[in-house]
Amino acid sequence: MGSDQRSPLVVLEARGHAGRLTYLLGSPATDAAVVVEALQGLCPDVVLIPLREHRPVVTTAGKVALSTRHRAVTVNDLPGQARAVMAALARARADEHLALQVILGPRRIPLAVPTQSPSSMVVPWYQVAWYGNGQTIDTEKRTALRNKVSEAGFACTIRLGVTAPTPRRRELLLLGLMAALRASEAPGVQLRLNREAANRLTAATAPWRWPLRLGVHEVLALSGWPLSGPGKDDDLPGMPPSHPVVLPPLPVTGKAERVLALSTAPGPVQPLHLPIREQLKHLHVLGPTGVGKSTLLAHLALADIEAGRGLVVIEPKGALVDDILARIPKHRQDDVVVLDPADLIAPVGLNPLAGGHGRRPEVVVDALLAVFHQLWADAWGPRTQDILHAALLTLARRSDASLVMLPLLLTNPGFRRSLTHRAIAEDPVALGSFWAWYEQLSDAERAAAIAPVMNKLRAFLLRPAMRAVVGQVQPRFTLRQVFTERKILLVPLSKGTVGPEAAALLGSLVVADLWQATLERTTMPENRRHPVHVIIDEVQDYLRLPTDLADALAQARGLGVGFTLAHQYLDQLPAGMRSAILGNARSRVCFQLPPSDAAVMAKGHPELTADDFTSLGAFHVCASLHRQPERPVRLRTNRTAPEGQQLNPRTAPSKPGTLRPPTRGDRSRPGRPRHRDTGGSE
């Protein structure tokens, strides 16, 4: 700006009040657009907020004068000089205002200082008139003058103003600010404070005669605006903490939908949207317990519910499901299905062996084997693989089978013969030869062969709650209905209720069945694949697919299924899952992170450091969306709205709603009554 001769008058004002600093920028109304355009061109991230009310007036003012116009103030430590001025401004208390005003007037172009310069360049006119102009400037004065005029600058004035309860306090604040400015004094140049009318500072009146000529670096030294040294990010006096950094989001284009969070950047509250087309490219949510992760997931779920989309939510505690259930809109209540293994009366069932709709038994069994293999990898061997493969395939070929039958198939000869005769007839080469081998084993050999399998199966089949879910041969609800009827499936898997192993198995079976339903969309025209959103909290416990996860995420995107994968820290994830999620989830939301995770998340984002992630507060996030991958932004999410009302980041409802949302125990859900003797269901 100092070299632009077209630039208009500019007012820079720094104000201290209640220990905080405020920076104001002003210009004549006719030139405001020019100043704003120039500033935003130089500083794209700057946020300008229109001043809606008058500034507090000052009661006492002064103006700064220099002892000479031919020497520059020191500019050797601009960050340190700015810090000193900021510290002086920040001393103003809650009932005080302290102002430093710099008015930049006409521009001054750089000047050359010849070696044989006459003395008239640096001495007063009356000395030239008395002694003549025959002398030349000595080397020291010529160097000082060259430093002063060799860069572009401004004709300007500097004013100080204060409002305080007592004259003594006003004097102390003004003298303290003046002392900070005097840190810029240099040999041969001193700063003085002269009287000035207070109303001239309040009105930002340009002087009739400009008293100062300052280069651009001198303006920086004396203006009190925040500067940071190379490689330094220390907190500055009177300013918010340097971490987490505040970056405003880019302007929203297109239809606004699915508010993710609200920007914390200065200025009007700006929502950040995650359109469903971006959700289909998958979202990764990372953050420990207690920072607001579940609240964000509830926001996303309820946005899809309100929009009429199919939704699946799998989570390990039940609190997220309860929050969503309490806020289901009335027009979607009939679409809700809660698959809750803790339901002791009529649980919703899941039969992962069920075929139909073009789902081949071999594909169904491959998905189940992948789940069992990843769950029981430490005890998995070739014989376990062989026995489970044949037994599951035998059951999957029938329409009246469930996982509860698996132990009976392996241990009860009469039951086994009733189920295997048809499989042997249909597949004598594979299943026929396996069951022939199995039958010729002695009881002791058979018991030893199936012991690893039975040990694992008992871990969940001994629980009546699990048998009631996976023991239903023909459940009234299938996951396919999420895609065909846009149902809302909520799966609370409280480890304290069903046990950690059983919860992990049931969640993994739901995800595996969901993946099979996703693949069935390949036969559907693309324009009929309405978006479906799958939210998995503590994803490492449940995501076990029969294919590479990176390929699965890429394939799901094309089939209209978007995953939101949430967990607490990166070391929870196996290496393959970690690389797949980091590489294929195109949007990411990070809550407060431990140092190790923060260092990973900061890579590739020069605007951020690990400290920006570790210093986030509760309900605050750093987010990077697919539409602006190079620019993560800092945001805040909102707390949960009252029951019966939808979560809305833009407004906080003040009164509970009057809806009567479904609950986990609602008997209108599509479950089947349990048998009290076996724990299974009708």
CATH T-level assignment (fold) for domain 277-350+475-636: Rossmann fold (3.40.50)
Residue 251, pLDDT > 60, answer no
Q: How far is CA 215 from CA 153, 190, 293, 331, 343, in A?
A: 4, 16, 51, 67, 76
Torsion of CA 292, 297, 299, 303, to 10 degrees: 170
Residue carrying the six token digits 């416990």? 541
Q: Residue 549 CA to chain centroid, in angstroms?
A: 23
The length of the chain, given as a count of residues: 682
Q: Collapsing DSSP states into helix, strand and coil, what is residue 177?
A: helix
Please determine, for residue 482, whether its predicted confidence score (pLDDT) is greater than 90: yes
Q: What is the mean pLDDT of residues 70-85?
A: 90
pLDDT over threshold 90, residue 452: no
* pTM score of the predicted model: 0.77
* pLDDT one-digit tens code per residue, 108-148: 877 766 665 544 444 454 444 544 454 556 677 777 777 78
Q: How far apart are the first and last CA of the chain?
A: 80
The average pLDDT across 203-219 equals 92
Please tell me the distance from the alpha carbon of residue 149 to that of residue 558, in angstroms, as a whole number. Answer: 64
Q: List, in sequence order, every residue forming a beta bridge with 23; answer none if it has no partner.
A: 14
Domain ranges of the chain: 10-110+151-223, 117-147, 277-350+475-636, 361-461
Q: Are 622 and 613 in contact (CB under 8 A)?
A: yes
Query: Average pLDDT, stretch 259-272?
Result: 70
Tens digit of pLDDT for each residue in 598-653? 999 988 787 788 988 998 888 888 888 764 544 555 556 655 544 444 444 333 33
At 561, is the pLDDT very low, low, confident or very high (cuts 50, 70, 90)? very high
The three state secondary structure string of 347-374 is: CCCCCCCCCECCECHHHHHHHHHHHHHH
pLDDT value for 629: 43
Residue 434 has pLDDT above 90, yes or no: yes
> What does the buried/exposed string (b/e) look like for 645-654 if buried means 16 or more CB atoms within 10 Å of the residue's CB?
bbbbbeeeee
Tens of pLDDT along 143-176? 777 778 788 889 999 999 999 999 999 999 999 9
| Mean pLDDT, the chain, whole residue set | 83
